[in-house]
Chains A and B, each alone.
Chain A
Amino acid sequence: QQPVQSPQAVILREGEDAVINCSSSKALYSVHWYRQKHGEAPVFLMILLKGGEQKGHEKISASFNEKKQQSSLYLTASQLSYSGTYFCGTAPNTGNQFYFGTGTSLTVIP
């Protein structure tokens, strides 16, 4: 039930782009994205609802393909501040459950 993220880890140079994928075995109602820096609590980035929409947040955007039960997070022109572990969070169509994904560690170097 826990969504699987890929890649597990990625290292980027400043200015490079990255894509993080989140895949669920269950039909989804919504997908959330959070970023967690070392030793800190997760911070909300965005939510995508059933309907296949794409959202943007400065240079970070995401898409949601409900048919494939997948979401992708796009980071463009990465900055040092983007470093951290990214988690997707999924809410299935039914019930009140919420599951965080396996996480993707992203490191941006100068």
Chain B
Amino acid sequence: EAGVVQSPRYKIIEKKQPVAFWCNPISGHNTLYWYRQNLGQGPELLIRYENEEAVDDSQLPKDRFSAERLKGVDSTLKIQPAELGDSAVYLCASSLLAEQFFGPGTRLTVL
């Protein structure tokens, strides 16, 4: 069974540029999560989807971050414009029940 797929794996951009991350969850998993993980810290939930509905986006900085999950499968997380403080690893996870399966993450560096 294929795991959670994320792309790109690494991204380096200059501040004020836009950036987008893509996630393909495990087939059949209705719940999809986007996390941000800073170095040495635990993942911070940005947004959670149940199928195509965002059920918790309380931690998503809505002035610059946006997300969508088309047809309840793939998802895209966008930052526009990026700031220096956005440098982090962005993790996508999916679940059918409680156990979350994580993708490899996208390491974003904002210069």
Interface residue? A103 (CB, 8 A): yes
Question: CB-defined interface of B66-106 with A at 8 Å, one 1/0 digit per residue?
Answer: 00000000000000000000000001000000111111110
Pair A87/B43 contact, Cβ less than 8 Å: yes
Chain B: how many interface residues by the 8 Å CB criterion? 21
In whole angstroms, what is the CA distance A43 to B55 when docked? 23
The digit string for A75-99, where 1 denotes a CB below 8 A from any CB of B, is: 0000000000001010000011111
A41-B104, A41-B105 are contacts. A100–B98 as well, Cβ < 8 Å? no
Instruction: State whether A101 touches B42 (Cβ < 8 A).
Output: yes
Q: Do A32 and B98 touch (CB < 8 A)?
A: yes
**Chain A nearest CB: distance from B93 CB in Å?**
8
Asked whether any CB of chain B lies closer than 8 Å to the CB of A42, the reply is yes
Tell which of B40, B44, B45, B103 touches A41, judged by Cβ atoms closer than 8 Å.
Answer: B103
- Which B residues are in CB contact (< 8 Å) with A42? 43, 91, 100, 102
Expressed in whole angstroms, the Cα–Cα distance for A32 and B97 within the complex equals 12
User: Is A60 an interface residue, CB under 8 A from the partner?
Assistant: no
Contact A99 B105, beta carbon cutoff 8 Å: no
Residue of A nearest to B58 (CB): A97
Which residues of A are in contact with B by a Cβ distance under 8 Å? 2, 30, 32, 34, 40-44, 47, 87, 89, 95-103
Additional A-B contact list (13), CB under 8 Å, known A41-B91, A96-B48: A2-B42, A41-B105, A42-B43, A43-B102, A87-B43, A89-B100, A96-B56, A98-B56, A99-B45, A100-B35, A100-B43, A103-B40, A103-B41
